[in-house]
Amino acid sequence: MRGRIPDRLVSATLLVALAPWCAGCATEIHLRQSPGVVEGAGGGRLLVRVFDNRSDRKRDVTTHRTIVTELYRVEGKAENLLSEERESRWSVPDMPPGEYVLRVAKWVDEKGVVQKLPHRQDEEFLIRTNETTVADVVLSDPEKAWVKVGIGVVVVVGLSYLLGREMMKNWHPLGNLRFE
């Protein structure tokens, strides 16, 4: 097939270019555990903080938006909802040791209506005896946004060049004119 770009090449290029948008990188959950911090009956503690971006996380400035975060306890294959919070900072003291899931999937708009986020983020973690688990939720990342813009520009320019080059090979604007 001379003069045509193979469909596989175009499909593969588009998939590679669109991968960052499909990866769900708009929300990240960073977990860290501090052993020996909790005092009490042998449970663990969870501290959740919600940030707009990585820069705010570094400065410890939580978001002003209302984000719904849900805490589930995992028992076998079932997830049981323990808590649904709308604060940018919240904690649960004296949690029994076990497996849990933190889910960020919704936000509340200015009218008070709960909306779904474009990408749901789940993070499984363990609560251990006498440990504090800190979960930092980062809603968006400007650094990744610039990477996406750069990839998008490269893909658009590259595809435009390839398609334009192939189209120009078969274009003969003066092909029907005869000079005598």
Q: How confident is residue 30, by pLDDT bands cut at 50, 70 and 90?
A: confident
Q: Report if residue 112 sits inside a domain.
A: yes
Per-chain mean pLDDT for the chain: 78
pLDDT at position 71: 95
Same domain? 83 vs 151: no
Q: Report if residue 45 sits inside a domain.
A: yes
Residue scoring higher pLDDT (27 or 37): 27
Same domain? 54 vs 82: yes
Mean pLDDT of 161-171: 72
Q: What's the CATH number where 32 sits?
A: 2.60.40.1120
- Which tens digit of pLDDT belongs to each residue from 117-164? 877 889 999 998 889 999 999 887 544 555 666 777 777 777 777 777
**Six token digits for residue 6:** 């193979």
Same domain? 129 vs 46: yes
Tell me the CB-side half-sphere exposure of residue 172, using CA atoms within 13 A.
5
Same domain? 134 vs 145: no
Domain membership of residue 148 as a residue range: 1-25+141-163
Q: What is the pTM of this model?
A: 0.63
- Which tens digit of pLDDT belongs to each residue from 83-104? 999 999 999 988 999 999 999 9
pLDDT at position 25: 47
Same domain? 101 vs 13: no
pLDDT at position 56: 87
Same domain? 42 vs 96: yes
Same domain? 12 vs 69: no
d(CA 20, CA 28): 14
pLDDT at position 105: 86
Same domain? 41 vs 63: yes
Q: Which of 8-12, 23-27, 87-91 has the lowest mean pLDDT?
A: 23-27
Same domain? 134 vs 47: yes
For the chain, give the longest Cα–Cα distance. Answer: 102
Q: Report if residue 43 sits inside a domain.
A: yes
The structural domain count of the chain equals: 2
Contacts of range 11-19, beta carbons closer than 8 Å, 24 or more positions apart: 13/155, 13/158, 13/159, 14/155, 16/155, 17/151, 17/152, 17/154, 17/155
